[in-house]
Structure 1
């Protein structure tokens, strides 16, 4: 494998239009609703596969209709599935995305999402991949508790490591420093970078983390990407597109960066791929319908 992605996989129900709830039994009319592949890890894995990387996803899903939907969508994208046990009666996770023009809210049923354990990531898995990416840290507390050890084993085996924590629903942001000491690339958005470090200034926040030896690659919305490493910093613009839905754009950003990095590009060029991949993914509803191809990111075919 080029990439082993570890983390969440579940359907997303993306609702658009008048999505800000008004209680009191009020009925509201929507302009759109799509049931699509969701989960940060699953969307990243689908994006990596679309960019030509040999990709596997280690995840847990239930033996229910949402689990069958998730497996089918990943298999259609050419992602090799490595399924961990979650218990026969545990339902597959589900997220409802309330997508407004200027913001969004996410309601998540964890279900099988927290089922992964550190021991599910075996030495055999690490021996079979070039790079290990973990997503949705705070939805998976058992995995998070042992992730520093997993990343240490990966590094010892010569495997690259990257982490996208996503948002912490509890807003405690625990355990990150120990993990980042063994992380090659940290992939937050601006709000996550501030929350993880407690720093309002992004440059100061990134400097705190690069001192640990990690490269910080930040999703910067419509502005594209910024990156900081011990040896320097860079920025890259996004692509101008007609936006249909921003769900999963950060995960497609991850896939673009990993594809560039594994192609041997320097960070300055890899973040250009990341920014373009994130932008292009917003052309359709959901996280995977409009994910970029290799040709769209690199017309030269590199």
Structure 2
């Protein structure tokens, strides 16, 4: 089982009409999406986050149950559910405004960290839960406790509308990545955190700091990976884009699922991947993300929609 840690919320897509504005509410939150994405790709997954006991929170739990994501590690509280207003540009790229001060997903304390059994082989953390308190320090404590014992995955997924201090983000990302085995990051996040510095240089620093595989996503242009095996690039898939909501989360879930299918559940196996194996893993993740881009909102693909992978990587 892979444990995904972070936020769970509702995305409200604005729909304009004459003299009115209505909202199309969709379940979201980057870690929530990754957990659902793993389950849809046939991988046992659990979510660790704070979820409200209000009706919106109850609907989040019900959605996890429907998707087959384990909910026994959720921290329920009477705090409100986070809302995110989503405005889509002409290119389908979303702009977010978050309303979640004091919300349940931000309020997880260190004393609420779960005990993990041997069935949990990896953990993933990312997005604004890294940078807001008390959940940020709580997740850092969890990763510090488990690093070296389980495979750790990280996606910064920077949200400056939640925490505008890029210095704080750089510090928090640095602390998490030193404990991480797999790091996935978008080129947009790199430009925000390290303006003027190339992806290859940053990836080199992160590999030196302890990461085993660094993957940089470039939207429609595809992705590139850096590891001890060298650099591998994979072009994007041309599709009719509806919007890009959830594409990065799909890519992340597909990376983890691809590793799981190939039996890569330990750091030594991750380090042993050669360039051809990494390329096939990237191709799988790029293909999964492309499917999500053809749909409204974070509607992640199921395993049957993607080609076989295990035989290709192993």
User: Normalising TM by the smaller chain, what interval?
Assistant: 0.7 to 0.9
- Other structure's SS at 2:116 match: helix
Shift of residue 84, structure 1, vs aligned partner: 4.2
Residue 69 of structure 1 pairs with residue 68 of structure 2:
no
Gaps of 5+ in 1: 19-25
Within 2, Cα distance between the matches of 1:178 and 1:13? 32
**Structure 1's 104 and 28: CA in aligned 2 closer, same or farther, altered over 3 A?**
farther
Q: Secondary structure of the residue that 1:187 maps to in structure 2?
A: strand
Q: Give the 5 Å matches for 1:1-302.
A: 1=1, 3-15=2-14, 27=19, 33-85=23-75, 87-88=77-78, 90-102=79-91, 103-110=93-100, 111-122=103-114, 124-125=115-116, 127-136=118-127, 137-138=129-130, 140-157=132-149, 159-169=150-160, 170=164, 171-172=166-167, 173=169, 174-214=171-211, 215-264=213-262, 266-288=277-299, 291-299=300-308, 302=311
**Using the alignment, how far apart are the partners of 1:139 and 1:17 within structure 2?**
32
**Rounded Cα–Cα distance in structure 2 between residues aligned with 1:17 and 1:274:** 34
Shift of 1:300: 6.3
Please say if residues 47 and 252 of structure 1, whose CA atoms lie closer than 8 Å, have aligned partners that are also in contact: yes
User: Residues of 1 paired with 2:16 and 2:198: CA distance?
Assistant: 34
* Cα distance change of structure 1 residues 29 and 115 upon mapping to structure 2, 3 Å threshold: closer
TM-score computed with the length of structure 2 as normaliser? 0.83
- Unpaired segments ≥5 residues, structure 2: 265-276
2:261, 2:309 within 8 Å by CA — same for their partners in 1? no
1:22 match: none
Post-superposition shift, 1:47?
Answer: 0.6
* Conserved? CA contact 1:225–1:236, under 8 Å: yes
Q: What is the aligned-residue RMSD (CA, Å)? A: 2.4
Task: Tell me if structure 2 keeps the 8 A contact 1:199–1:205.
Answer: no
Q: Structure 1 residues 168 and 300, CA, compared in 2 at 3 Å: closer, same or farther?
A: closer
Contact 2:14–2:21 (Cα < 8 Å) also in 1: no
Query: CA distance change for structure 1 residues 211 and 151 in 2, over 3 Å: closer, same or farther?
Result: same
Deviations 1:235-260 (A, max 9, x none): 12232222112111110110111111
CA displacement 1:245-276 (0-9 Å, x = unmatched): 21111101101111111122732222212111
Name 2:268's counterpart in structure 1: none
Does the CA contact (< 8 Å) of 1:40 and 1:251 recur in 2? yes
Number of residue-to-residue matches in the alignment: 287
TM-score by length of 1: 0.86
Aligned pair in 2 of structure 1 residues 276, 17: CA closer, same or farther (>3 Å)? farther
Q: Structure 1: how far apart are the matches of 2:281 and 2:113?
A: 27
